[in-house]
Amino acid sequence: MILGQPDRDGSRPTLALVIERRILAYPQRPLAVRPPDPRAAVVAARVDAMIRSRRPDLEVVHIGSSAVPDLPGKGVVDLGIHPASRADVAAIEQLLLELGFARMRGPAAFPNSRPLLIGGLEEDGETLPIHLHVIPDPGEWARQLTFRDELRRDPDLRARYTALKHQLVEVAPSSLQYSLSKTAFIRGVLEEAGAAEPSVPSGGTIGILGGGQLGRMLALAARPLGYRIAILDPDPNCPAAALADEQIVAAYDDTAAAARLASLSDVVTYELEHVSLGAARAVDELRPIRPSAFALAMTQDRISERRFLEGLGIPVAPWREVRSLAALVAGVEALGTPLRLKVAIGGYDGRRQVRITGATTAERNASVQAAWAALASAALADGLVLEREVAFRDEVSVVVVTDLGGRQAAFPAARNVHDEGILIESVAPAPGPRTIGTAATAIAKRIATALDAVGVVTVEMFAMPDGSLLVNELAPRVHNSGHLTIEACRTSQFEQHVRAICGLPLGSMAPTAAGAAMVNLLGTGRDRPARLLGLEQAMRDPGVSVHVYGKRRVFERRKMGHVTVVSERLGDAMDRARAAAAHLTWAD
Ligand code: AMP
418 ligand 1 Cβ < 6 A:
yes
Exposure letters 55-69 (e unless 16+ CB within 10 A, then b) = eeebebbbbbbbbbe
In the three-class reduction of DSSP (H, G, I as helix; E, B as strand; rest coil), residue 393 is classed as: coil
DSSP secondary structure code for residue 476 in this structure: S
Give the domain 205-289 fold: Rossmann fold (3.40.50)
Q: Whose CA is nearest to atom 23 of ligand 1?
A: 389
pLDDT of residue 2: 37
387 ligand 1 Cβ < 6 A:
yes
> Of 65, 86, 87, 61, which Cα lies nearest the Cα of 76?
65
390 ligand 1 Cβ < 6 A:
yes
Distance separating alpha carbons of residues 278 and 581, to the nearest angstrom = 39
Atom of ligand 1 nearest to the CA of 423: 10
422 ligand 1 Cβ < 6 A:
no
Regions of the chain short of the pLDDT cut 70: 1-21, 107, 173, 348-350
Q: Whose CA is nearest to atom 19 of ligand 1?
A: 389
Q: Whose CA is nearest to atom 17 of ligand 1?
A: 389
Residue 498 near residue 490, CB atoms below 8 Å = no
Long-range contacts of 378-382 (CB under 8 A, 24+ apart): 378/343, 378/344, 378/345, 378/346, 378/352, 379/322, 379/323, 379/324, 379/328, 380/323, 381/345, 382/301, 382/343, 382/344, 382/345, 382/346
Report how far ligand 1's centroid is from the alpha carbon of 421 (Å): 6
Q: Whose CA is nearest to atom 1 of ligand 1?
A: 350
In the three-class reduction of DSSP (H, G, I as helix; E, B as strand; rest coil), residue 22 is classed as: coil
- Best of 354, 472, 477, 479 for a ligand 1 pocket test (most atoms within 8 Å of beta carbon): 472
Q: Whose CA is nearest to atom 8 of ligand 1?
A: 421
Residue 15 near residue 4, CB atoms below 8 Å = yes
Long-range contacts of 320-326 (CB under 8 A, 24+ apart): 320/385, 320/386, 320/387, 321/383, 321/384, 321/385, 321/386, 322/379, 322/383, 322/384, 322/385, 322/386, 323/379, 323/380, 323/383, 323/384, 324/379, 325/372, 325/376
pLDDT of residue 349: 66
| Domain 318-388 grouped into CATH 3.30.1490.20 | yes
> Of 164, 169, 153, which Cα lies nearest the Cα of 67?
153
Report how far ligand 1's centroid is from the alpha carbon of 322 (Å): 17
pLDDT of residue 347: 72
- Counts for the chain of helices (H) and strands (E), in that order: 18, 26
pLDDT of residue 177: 75
Which CATH number applies to 2-192: 3.40.50.12280, 3.30.460.10, 3.30.70.100, 3.30.70.20? 3.30.460.10
Q: Is the peptide bond before 429 cis (omega within 30 degrees of 0)?
A: yes
473 ligand 1 Cβ < 6 A:
yes
For the chain, where do the domains classified as CATH 3.30.470.20 start and end? 394-586
For the chain, where do the domains classified as CATH 3.30.460.10 start and end? 2-192
Report how far ligand 1's centroid is from the alpha carbon of 167 (Å): 33
Atom of ligand 1 nearest to the CA of 387: 19
Q: Whose CA is nearest to atom 7 of ligand 1?
A: 421
472 ligand 1 Cβ < 6 A:
yes
Distance separating alpha carbons of residues 291 and 457, to the nearest angstrom = 8
For the chain, where do the domains classified as CATH 3.30.1490.20 start and end? 318-388
Distance separating alpha carbons of residues 439 and 442, to the nearest angstrom = 5
Angle between helical axes of 255-264 and 277-284 (0-180°, round to 10): 40
Predicted confidence (pLDDT) per residue in 399-447, tens digit? 999 999 889 999 999 999 999 889 999 999 999 999 999 999 999 999 9
Long-range contacts of 546-553 (CB under 8 A, 24+ apart): 546/580, 546/584, 547/217, 547/483, 547/486, 548/521, 549/212, 549/213, 549/216, 549/239, 550/216, 550/239, 550/242, 551/213, 551/239, 552/237, 553/527, 553/528, 553/529
389 ligand 1 Cβ < 6 A:
yes
Report how far ligand 1's centroid is from the alpha carbon of 472 (Å): 7
| Cα separation values, 57 from 49, 144, 400, 566, Å | 11, 20, 45, 64
In the three-class reduction of DSSP (H, G, I as helix; E, B as strand; rest coil), residue 577 is classed as: helix
pLDDT of residue 62: 98
- Best of 301, 340, 416, 469 for a ligand 1 pocket test (most atoms within 8 Å of beta carbon): 340
Atom of ligand 1 nearest to the CA of 349: 2
395 ligand 1 Cβ < 6 A:
yes
Distance separating alpha carbons of residues 532 and 563, to the nearest angstrom = 13
* Residue 149 backbone dihedrals phi, psi, to 5 degrees: -70, -35
pLDDT of residue 105: 78
Report how far ligand 1's centroid is from the alpha carbon of 395 (Å): 9
Report how far ligand 1's centroid is from the alpha carbon of 432 (Å): 20
Report how far ligand 1's centroid is from the alpha carbon of 565 (Å): 26
Q: What is the pTM of this model?
A: 0.91
pLDDT of residue 18: 45
Non-local (6+) Cβ contacts of 186 within 8 A are 147, 406
Report how far ligand 1's centroid is from the alpha carbon of 474 (Å): 12
| Cα separation values, 544 from 124, 430, 562, 573, 577, Å | 73, 20, 10, 9, 7
234 ligand 1 Cβ < 6 A:
no
Report how far ligand 1's centroid is from the alpha carbon of 338 (Å): 12
Cβ atoms < 10 Å from Cβ of 266 = 22
pLDDT of residue 359: 87
Annotate 482-507 with DSSP letters as a single string.
Answer: GTTHHHHBSS-HHHHHHHHHTTPPPP
pLDDT of residue 10: 43
| Cα-to-chain-centroid distance, residue 524 | 33
Q: Whose CA is nearest to atom 4 of ligand 1?
A: 473
Atom of ligand 1 nearest to the CA of 420: 8
27 ligand 1 Cβ < 6 A:
no
394 ligand 1 Cβ < 6 A:
no
Give the domain 394-586 fold: D-amino Acid Aminotransferase; Chain A, domain 1 (3.30.470)
Distance separating alpha carbons of residues 282 and 261, to the nearest angstrom = 10
Report how far ligand 1's centroid is from the alpha carbon of 274 (Å): 18
534 ligand 1 Cβ < 6 A:
no
Predicted confidence (pLDDT) per residue in 373-389, tens digit? 999 999 999 999 999 99
- Best of 357, 396, 418, 473 for a ligand 1 pocket test (most atoms within 8 Å of beta carbon): 418
Amino acid 311 reads G
pLDDT of residue 17: 44
Report how far ligand 1's centroid is from the alpha carbon of 355 (Å): 10
340 ligand 1 Cβ < 6 A:
yes
Distance separating alpha carbons of residues 96 and 73, to the nearest angstrom = 24
Atom of ligand 1 nearest to the CA of 342: 3
